[in-house]
Chain A
Amino acid sequence: MRSALTAASRRRAPPRQIMLALQSTSITGTSSLVPPIARQGVSGSVGQVRQCQVSSFSTERATQLKDTIHLSSLQTDGGMSKYVQVKPHFDKILIANRGEIACRIIRTARRLGVRTVAVYSEVDKDCMHVAMADEAYCIGPAPSSESYLRADKILAVAARSGAQAIHPGYGFLSESPEFAAQVAAAGLAFIGPPPSAIRSMGSKRESKDIMLAAEVPCVPGYHGADQSPTHLQAQADKIGYPLLIKPTHGGGGKGMRIVRYSDEFAEELEAAKREAKKSFGNDEVLLERWLERPRHVEVQVFADGQGGCVGLWERDCSVQRRHQKIIEEAPAPGLSPELKRDFAAKAVAAAKAVNYVGAGTVEFIMDAATDEYFFMEMNTRLQVEHPVTEMVTGIDLVEWQLLVAAGNPLPLTQDEVPCIGHAFEARIYAERPESNFLPDAGRLLHIRPPISTPHRLETGFAEGDEVSSYYDPMIAKLIVHGKDRSEALAMLRSALGEYQIVGPSTNIEFLKAVAGHTEFAKGQVETSFIPTHSDDLFAREAVPEEVLAQAALFLTRQSELDLARIGGVWGQLSHRRFGDISEQNWVFDDTSVSIRALGSGYQVSSGEYTSPASVTLLGHNEVTTTLADLRTQSTVIPIGNRVHIFHASKHYTLNRPDPTLDDAATGTTGQTADSLTSPMPATVIEVRVKPGDKVKSGQVVCVLESMKMEINIRAGRDGVIDQVRAEKGKTVEEGGVLVMLESVAD
């Protein structure tokens, strides 16, 4: 009892003090891991971490702290003392990207005294990267094909602003050899590889040929020019199933399809080609053997075009969903030193084979059982997950990009590249893991990044920003660095536990489940980790009674405060009944919680559970409750009929009955019903039925596109099409009716 009390009082220390205390320890903690040679980079990137965290509050002390860090990062620049920078940095660069990567580039540029020019689409005018850059120019409407993919507009901005170089970030034009060539033609520097290297590596077929020639092992597959469906079918049958259809010119998992049976091949091929055509303007595909238990290991390489080329060690990106990485780590767990060096050497060989310049990533597929590995592809750009490499090597990769693009040699040789500790990156997406990771969009109504766990956060969103369905739904990258894998994983778990986002649905809870999984803790997971352990990862947990009680107490307290606003005695004497006891019932999903207002405090009961309680509200959303002898704190964010509770590192979403449902005559929205609805805001790209058509259960009636993903809408039952409301090219809202089936008389 006594210990519980002291624990409670200890927890009551003002949060800001805790925050500052932890931050100062984390600074010393991190730098002690790093040998002098790597200090420069590490303190640089840690400096960014501080910046992110410090910006979340504004006290004099915080400002001081920030200044000190900046100062120290400049001072420890001496880590590169023996390196002589031949050419000065550019004065001004243009960043042809948006979101977190644009912000991340701007941050390094600012540190190096390089001025920055941002471009933005009409919907992005209030975005963080626009605010952060020295100058920003609007380049067109929201669709990326009319803005961020418009090389001509970007080059015009570059000319107008006097930028000397263009950093393409990742995605958009980053792997367009045409763009790289146009930039060069305009007399500007392209911060990336030469067009020839992009072109060679951009074509999966060509790159494999080059790799085979350079004695880098490749996966069996068909990379031929004959793209006729019959030929491809034959090749597919030759390679064997399961196999993967991949757009030749593409990346990021878009347009990739796994085919498990020969008779499914034709339909999947058609879909893959259509998506490839739309995303990359080219519908060429390649076929590849699909390994069921593979690991995804990739090596960061860096070349200076002056003969210098180093491998900055590897990353393991095996935790994937929909072929996209969600948790990455460096180094890859369980590699022998020999294998590790072997990986780096093969990656360097690959880069050299295409006369690579700048930052690139060579992706390998590795057999978890045999340690065999095959070349998959090379990404000729800075990758989303580059921060984990930065954390373990202490190198600021953007700084290196700028150095190399300005014509400098690499600062380090292969032997000098360190690999210290272990780093994780978790990608926070606006998506619904429970609905097959469908992307989500919407306004970020509440964001609270981790406070006490040392971490680095890369994000392009602030609270109140809109995650638009026009672009990638990634909200942030959460990076942690520990002295070994288990420490880093513990930090990842606690940082994820602290991270609060309300607005669009996010994958944070899912990431917590992954980071907390015992198989993941063991390391060396396969790319099939998520489907294999889906039962564990998607386990639905009953909401604990304390959480329900807290939600009810919060709403009760809130209603009291609402009442108090009317003033006077009537506003003061909340719940009073004068000889009677008021009892309020709050319904969350299918549980009812009743709160009886006693003379002082409350009595909470729900089913079997009953407890005396008290509640205090700090600010609008911080609630402290005492339930019998249990004192707990939570953050509660009520949004409409939903109540979000962040309690003990978990995010619970409780649904209150929707009063407007009373108004609706009928309310079924399931796809088994008569109407087939859109599961998310999307664009209709194909309608396959017309009124009067007979459809079978499971038949695709309509194809939608959202967040660059194609979604097939299938009939939930056999029936006849009554109405078709979906129109090709039109956008639909979430829940919008696409197709109505004729209702069946009961």
Chain B
Amino acid sequence: MAWSTVEHLGHILSSQRLCKQSGGVSRGRATVRIARRTLIAQPPRHLVTPQPLRSLVNPTSEDARAKQAYMRAVLDDLNALRIKAKEGGGKEVLERWKARGKGKMGVRERVEALIDPASPFLELSALAAHEVYPDPLPGAGLVTGIGLVAGKKCMIAANDPTVKGGAYYPLTVKKHLRAQQIALENRLPCIYLVESGGAALPFQSEVFPDHDHFGRIFYNMARMSGLGISQISVVHGISVAGGAYMPAMSDVVIIVKNQGRIFLAGPPLVKAATGEIVDEETLGGGEMHTSVSGVADHLATNDAHAIRLARQAVQDLGAASTSNEISAGITTVHAPLYPPAELDSIVPADPRQTYDMREVIARIVDGSEFREFKQEYGKTIITGFAEIHGHKVGIVANAGVLLSPSALKATHFIQLCSQRQIPLLFLVNVSGYMVGESAERGGIAKDGAKMVRAVARAKVPKFTVVVGGMCGRAYSPRFLFMWPNAKICVMGPDQLSSVMQTVSGKRRLPSSLKQGEEDRWVELRGKIQAQSSALYSTARIWDDGIIAPSDTRDVLGLGLELAAEEKASRDTSVTGGQRGEIGADGDVGDWGVFRM
């Protein structure tokens, strides 16, 4: 609207000027041509007149300021935790580690050197393992994230040797597998910066045996290689026992001379087993592996050189990476009319207070333009189409408890998106499906199930941002991010403890113990409260990380672009457009690259 007015004005002005200046008709035509060459940027024409959302939020109001103060405080706390986690094992440990070799870099330095100088880096689960184990395990001892390497989007998984020697704790394994899952779904080449002693032996029962444990890392590598998703390892340090398979399973391996070591058993174990006495460099050093065994392909003189070789390797990935044709085609993107930064002043400190989700959508989508579907039906859910950073998306946002009509509306909308191949974005803020006689009689369970089925089987990429309550990881979204205020719980702590109270109250009623019981419920309530926090969730990698509300638009843009590029590259990939699930017998995909 605003733009078209300006445009009009410009035309009027220039034609007035034209009338004054030009004497004849032919002269006039010439002037028109010049007027068109104006240097003032003109917005591209819309085929359909855009209609941005209206906002009722006044960012300078006292209410908004109070909300902002709350969000700032929460974010500051989180940032402090992230800074701490980023240090890994701490400066001293890092210095000691570096002193062991020449030109050794810390894990953060390695990642920074690996990605392009100005590249964004979407770090995943930065606060993983926060207060989970008796000893601190910052970031679960693994840095994972997506960044641009030589202009290509890559998944990076880098061991932090300053955190327990880079050992794999259960959550380290989970974080690694999650990174691989994201890479698989988005066809992202994987670069592993390896320096790890392997599984954390005291936790071996939680690390080694099960389906989603250590071995799954190598299984995934084979699967991805088979699907034409390149696997590159840089061996910066020790890579022993099970860990030795990390490089061995990779398509390309770079090893640092006199630092990188790959062997199934180290010298002490070799001596114990066979009596053979051999030093580490002879047993599994870079020179031996690149020239004799062929376990590694490129020999680097130091960490920086190795990183440079990895960047060079990415340069030559060809079809084993996504193409940026789609994103390069998106030339004009309109920023939201209302600044995304205002999102920090929308969420109230009290989760029971409600707010209009359209205020959130208006600050996430391009031009704040949201084309709502079934606006007047099932009003506790909001559905509609919009673009984020130029990528079309169907948005399903909660606006209260789910009722039958809301579930039906969502089901309808999800089917539309699946039919139209439009990715889905869920802005989750719900306490659950409606309960009560009327709801049950209305078949809420049946209608809820329709929605669940629709979500589960929608053949489009899904993105979830938990802005309020509940979760959704079980429905395999490409990414799931949390807002810091979000709560993850089957139901609210109050309801849960009262349900528990009721359920157990049916069994026994010794009045003498009433006071102790009361204490127990309070304790349970407190425990539920703590377990439902975003921090608790992110520490256990139930999500891909906590993001500031103001970052939501950009993070989603990055994710949508990955999905769009993955989709565009399906037809050209070696699997002929099929993707296949991990572990499915008879799935698509090849052997992968055998190391020769």
Contacts and interface: CB of A to CB of B under 8 A. Distances in A.
A609 interface: no
A567 B308 contact: no
Contact of A659 (B86, B308, B555): B308
Contacts of B548: 578-579
Contacts of A556: 117-118
Contacts of B561: 568-570
B327 A580 contact: no
B280 to A, nearest CB: 22
Interface string A517-558: 000000000000000000000000000000000000001100
A692 interface: no
A230 B388 CA distance: 92
A563 to B, nearest CB: 4
Contacts of B546: 579
Interface stretch (B119-127, B228-236, B432-440): B119-127
Contacts of A584: 112, 117-118
A662 interface: yes
B308 A570 contact: no
Contacts of B421: none
Interface string B185-229: 000000000000000000000000000000000000000000000
Interface stretch (B168-176, B297-305, B509-517): B297-305
Contacts of A582: 112, 121
A662 B328 contact: no
Given A568-B389, A570-B561, A580-B123, 18 more contacts: A555-B117, A559-B116, A562-B116, A567-B324, A568-B324, A568-B328, A571-B327, A571-B328, A575-B119, A577-B120, A577-B123, A579-B123, A579-B548, A580-B121, A580-B126, A582-B112, A584-B118, A659-B305
Nearest to B329: A567
Contacts, number: 113
Contacts of B151: 565-566
Among B78, B327, B560: residue with most chain A CB under 10 A: B327
Contacts of A568: 324, 326-328, 330, 389-390, 561
Contacts of B112: 582-584
Given A577-B121, A580-B82, A567 B126 contact: no
Interface in A638-693: 659, 662-663, 665
Interface residues of B, number: 44
Interface in B138-168: 148, 151, 153
Nearest to A597: B118
A742 interface: no
A567 B153 contact: no
A139 B118 CA distance: 52
7 contacts: A556-B117, A563-B118, A566-B328, A571-B327, A578-B123, A578-B555, A662-B302
Contacts of B330: 567-568
Contact of A559 (B118, B123, B547, B555): B118
Contact of B300 (A555, A571, A573, A662): A662
Contacts of B327: 566-571
Interface string A582-596: 111000000000000
Contact of B119 (A555, A563, A565, A569): A563
B557 interface: yes
Interface of A: 555-556, 559-560, 562-563, 565-580, 582-584, 659, 662-663, 665
Contacts of B82: 579-580
Interface in B289-314: 300-302, 304-305, 308
Given A566-B328, A569-B554, A659-B304, A578 B547 contact: yes
A573 B547 contact: no
A330 to B, nearest CB: 49
Contacts of A571: 324, 327-328
Nearest to A573: B120
B549 to A, nearest CB: 12
Contacts of A574: 118-120
Given A566-B148, A569-B554, A662 B120 contact: no
Given A568-B330, A578-B123, A580-B86, A563 B304 contact: no
Interface string B433-452: 00000000000000000000
Given A559-B116, A560-B118, A582-B121, A570 B304 contact: no
Given A568-B324, A663-B301, A575 B118 contact: yes
B179 to A, nearest CB: 16
A569 B304 contact: no
Contacts of B329: 567
B551 interface: yes
B117 A576 contact: no
B235 to A, nearest CB: 16
Interface in B555-572: 555, 557-558, 560-561
B55 interface: no
A569 B558 contact: yes
B554 A576 contact: yes
Nearest to B565: A568
B557 A569 contact: yes
B386 to A, nearest CB: 15
Contacts of B501: none
